[in-house]
Structure 1
Amino acid sequence: MNKAAALHILVKTESEAEALKKCLEKGEDFFKLAKKHSTCPSKRQGGDLGEFKKGAMVKQFDDAVFAKGSEDKPLIGPVKTRFGYHLIKVLYKS
Structure 2
Amino acid sequence: MNKAMARHILVKTAAEASALKKRLAKGEAFDMLARKYSSCPSGKKGGDLGEVRRRQMVPSIDKVIFTQPLRETHGPIKSKFGFHLVQVYYRD
Same-fold status (TM-score > 0.5): yes
Partner Cα separation in structure 1 for residue 61 and residue 7 of structure 2: 12
1:78 aligns to what?
Answer: 76
RMSD: 0.8
| 1:5 aligns to 2:16 (yes or no) | no
Q: Which amino acid aligns with 1:77?
A: G
Paired residues, number: 92
Question: 1:51: Cα distance to partner?
Answer: 0.1
Q: Percent identity?
A: 52
SS in 2 for 1:10: strand
- Flag as ranges the 4+ runs of structure 1 deviating above 2 A: none
Give the 5 Å matches for 1:24-63.
24-63=24-63
SS in 2 for 1:91: strand
Which stretches in structure 1 are left out of the alignment for 5+ residues?
A: none
Which stretches in structure 2 are left out of the alignment for 5+ residues?
A: none
TM-score for both structures, normalised by structure 1: 0.95
